[in-house]
Each structure stands twice: as C-alpha cells, then as structure tokens.
Chain A
Amino acid sequence: KAGVTQTPRYLIKTRGQQVTLSCSPISGHRSVSWYQQTPGQGLQFLFEYFSETQRNKGNFPGRFSGRQFSNSRSEMNVSTLELGDSALYLCASSTNTEAFFGQGTRLTVV
C-alpha cells in the first residue's frame, strides 16, 4: 500500500511568487490535512479537508489556501510568497485513529 506522496520534494521560489504543493493520500483515506514546520514555530496546523470540504483551518493568513479533489488528492497554494514562508510543508491523510504523514515539501523563498 503506497504511503502519502507529496510533490515536489524541494522547491525554490522568489518573494512575491505563488506556489502550489500537491498531496496524494493513502488509497481509501478521505481526510487530508496540511502542516507547516519551521524552526521558530514548530509544527503548525494549516487546514484539513474531508470529502472535498474544508473542515478546519489554522491561524494562517488568507494567502494560504487549499482544496481537495473528488479522488481525495489535495493541493495547497501560497500566494505572494514571503521569506517567512520558507518551511517544510507536511501533508497527512488519516483514518479515525491515526494520521500518516508524507515526507514533506521543503519550500525555500529567496
């Protein structure tokens, strides 16, 4: 059974640009959530999708958005990138019991 797949693994963008990250959950999982990890703030919840609907949202500005498709794959988008958006972005798909994380996308904003 394939795990959670995130693409790309690494990304370098310039301030002001926008970026789209992709997450393919484990087959059969309908819930996908996103997290941002930085050295200063640690692991922070961004948002969660279940059956194409956003169920929860963390305390992030509107520049951060996401969506989920009918096949449960999810994308998150960050517009007008800032240097502080440099982070490891993690996606997780989950059952009722446990969340399975991907390896993350490391975004560097220069």
Chain B
Amino acid sequence: DAKTTQPPSMDCAEGRAANLPCNHSTISGNEYVYWYRQIHSQGPQYIIHGLKNNETNEMASLIITEDRKSSTLILPHATLRDTAVYYCISKPWGGNTGTASKLTFGTGTRLQVTL
C-alpha cells in the first residue's frame, strides 16, 4: 500500500470548515483513498473513500486532485465532537470477495476543534 503523509496537528474553530490534507504521491492506479478517524479511546470510524472523483456523504467531502497525488477531507461545519485523530490511507479495492481491512495506518492528523 502506498505511503501517505499528513500534518501532525490542526486546529479549527467550531462551525468553520475543517480541511485536512493528505499527500499520497506514490499511489497506484488501483488504490483508493480512505479516511478514518479515531476519537480518544475508541475504535477508528470510517468516514469516506474515493478513487479519483470527488465524493460526499453525510459526514464529509473528499476532494482528490486530478493527478491523484493528494486529497483533502472536508468537514463542512466542524463541531467539538469532531475532535479526533484523522487517518488518510491508500489501499487497493477489496474486491467482490475481498475486504476493506488490512489497513496501514500512519500517524494521522490530530484535529482540535475549539470554541
């Protein structure tokens, strides 16, 4: 799996958009970009994933650059409950009988949302 690089920490004011960058310059053509987050002392939580198109769900938006070498996770209106460590992971698709597991976690970005 390709290595990803994220800033170690970021701050965001509550109610503002949080934009978390990720660099994955060695990503392969068959690798997806996944985002998970881990709130203190809990198991990681899936947020979103994408291949090359921008994606949006109820939690966040994922913007992937055209060359796929980097991406940005956007939390449109951050709340205090979004304070967590956010992990960007690149990995191949699990396939029809495969799985989304065997995730290679880096050190992530510690997002602190403040009042």
B is bound to A: yes
Count of chain B residues with a beta carbon within 8 Å of a chain A beta carbon: 26
Q: B110 within 8 Å of A by Cβ?
A: no
- Interfacial chain A residues near B103, Cβ < 8 Å: 33, 35, 43, 45, 92, 99
**Residue on A nearest B105 in the bound complex, by CB:** A43
Docked-complex contact A90 and B100, CB < 8 angstroms:
no
**Alpha-carbon gap, A92 to B102, bound state (A):** 10
- Interfacial chain A residues near B41, Cβ < 8 Å: 88
Interfacial residues of chain A within 31-64, with CB under 8 A of chain B in the complex: 31-33, 35, 42-45, 48, 50, 55-56
**Residue on A nearest B34 in the bound complex, by CB:** A98
Docked-complex contact A96 and B43, CB < 8 angstroms:
no
User: How far is the CB of B94 from the nearest CB of chain A, in Å?
Assistant: 5
Interfacial residues of chain B within 25-79, with CB under 8 A of chain A in the complex: 34, 36, 38, 41-46, 49
Docked-complex contact B104 and A94, CB < 8 angstroms:
no
**Residue on B nearest A98 in the bound complex, by CB:** B46
Count of chain A residues with a beta carbon within 8 Å of a chain B beta carbon: 27
Docked-complex contact A48 and B43, CB < 8 angstroms:
no
Docked-complex contact B101 and A33, CB < 8 angstroms:
yes
Which of A35, A43, A45, A50 is B99 in contact with, Cβ under 8 Å? A50
Q: A70 within 8 Å of B by Cβ?
A: no
The interface centre, meaning the residue of B43, B45, B103 with most chain A CB atoms within 10 A of its CB, is: B43
- Interfacial chain B residues near A44, Cβ < 8 Å: 105
Whether A96 touches B96, Cβ cut-off 8 Å, given contacts A101-B44, A102-B43, A103-B43, is yes
- Tell me the B residues contacting A by CB distance below 8 Å: 34, 36, 38, 41-46, 49, 87, 93-107
Give me 12 A-to-B residue pairs in the complex whose CB atoms sit less than 8 angstroms apart, sorted by A's number.
A31-B101, A33-B101, A42-B105, A43-B87, A50-B97, A50-B99, A90-B44, A92-B101, A96-B96, A101-B44, A101-B45, A104-B42
